[in-house]
Amino acid sequence: MTTTPSALEGIRVIDMSRVFAAPVGAQILGDLGADVIKIERPGVGDDGRGYGFSWVKGKDGIDTRHSSFFTVSNRNKRSLTLNHSKPEGQEILKKLAATADVLIENYKVGDLKRFGLDYETLKAINPRLIYCSVTGFGQTGPMAALPGYDGLFQATGGMMAVTGIPDGQPGAGPLKAGPSLVDFITGHNTALAIMGALMYRERTGEGQFIDIALLDTSVAMVSHIMQDYLISGNAPPRLGNGGNGGGPADLIYASDGIIYLTAGTDEHYRRLTVLMEQPELFTDERFDSNFKRGKTNRAELMDLINAWSRGFTADEVQAKLDGVGIPAARYNSLSDVWEDPQVQHRGLKATTPHKWAEAGSVDLIASPLAQMEKSPATIRLAPPLIGEHTAEILAELGYDEARIEELRELKVI
């Protein structure tokens, strides 16, 4: 917890999103100081509360409903339970929209229009509102109405086409990345677009509508590999753990562990051949160009490097590579990550007070934006319980205790 001045202090965000991609975007805004009000269904909450393999254990028998999916994407938010299908719920949302700078939602295209909560309706109430819709395929086009999740877009956007074991090897074929990377990057694109819209509003006074699609992100994140295809018309092969630039770049095996090596420049490769006491490999016709080392004769070269590295421990190999300036890093299991001295130095495990957790705190992953000099991203609030701040937020909108209780009885909140 911290009171450091924040970049987005004074900005109010209504987060009507669920599961992962859009909630990540709203969380980034919260990390940067915005007041993020998360709208959840009464008694049910965000669907993401039920995703993942682990849950934060609550104290005194409290069910926190803090799954790993929810916990990683909903800190720095206040939770307001609200049934927006009821007129009273719509009234509350419109009052909130009048006070807000940003609204984020990820409902199906056109769904919120049925309840008078679409951009055009809320724009009439608050012309400065920035309204961001996050969907699978975008607001228009032949697939706009279809639902979409991360794995679909890893397949559709090209990422799986270049991820996986190379053809001709055992187990060859496309492979999904472990984390929900399309969702995660879409969340970052959401936050980036909103911050751009806030800058535009600062100059013009105008809000705007933002259409963010997981499909767009999935194609863009294939990045230089997709650009290679656009330039050449040839699809680069899957390389398994091989690098996408120079070679050799791949996992190498020591006697007791694994290291990832990137000796992609001619000079790095020359140093490696000297370190291996096989300097003749530098001029060997099989490996005398980056293309040969990284592509055509890659497997043969990696066999030679592994024959050398297996004669040492992982610590010894790492020390030897570091000693001559060849980029390399120890492979870490998830538990190893938190023992890494540089990870510890950067403070990437953010132990955060959590009044509902049995342990009294929860370990979160620090924001990569936490090292900004003047306005770093900070963690001020642990992820909320369902509806934890409902009464607090309604009171800010002018509702008294009697009316709040009445809304509860009507199942509006």
Task: Tell me the residue type at 255.
Answer: S
Tokens for 200? 């535009």
Using omega within 30 degrees of 0 as the cis cutoff, is the peptide bond preceding 248 cis?
yes
Angle separating helix axes 21-31 and 181-204, nearest 10 degrees: 50
Q: Are 160 and 174 within 8 A, CB to CB? A: yes
**183 has catalytic annotation:** yes
Q: Are 226 and 234 within 8 A, CB to CB? A: no
Is 191 strand, coil or helix? helix
350 bridge partner residues: 364
CA gap 338, 347 in Å, rounded = 10
Residue (of 78, 71, 148, 141) closest to 107 by Cα position: 148
Is 303 strand, coil or helix? helix
Phi, psi of 313 (to 5 degrees): -75, 165
Beta pairing class for 258-262 and 249-253: antiparallel
* Residue of 31, 118, 183, 250 marked active site: 183
For 316, the enclosing helix (H) or strand (E) is: helix 314-323
Q: Which residues are annotated as catalytic?
A: 183
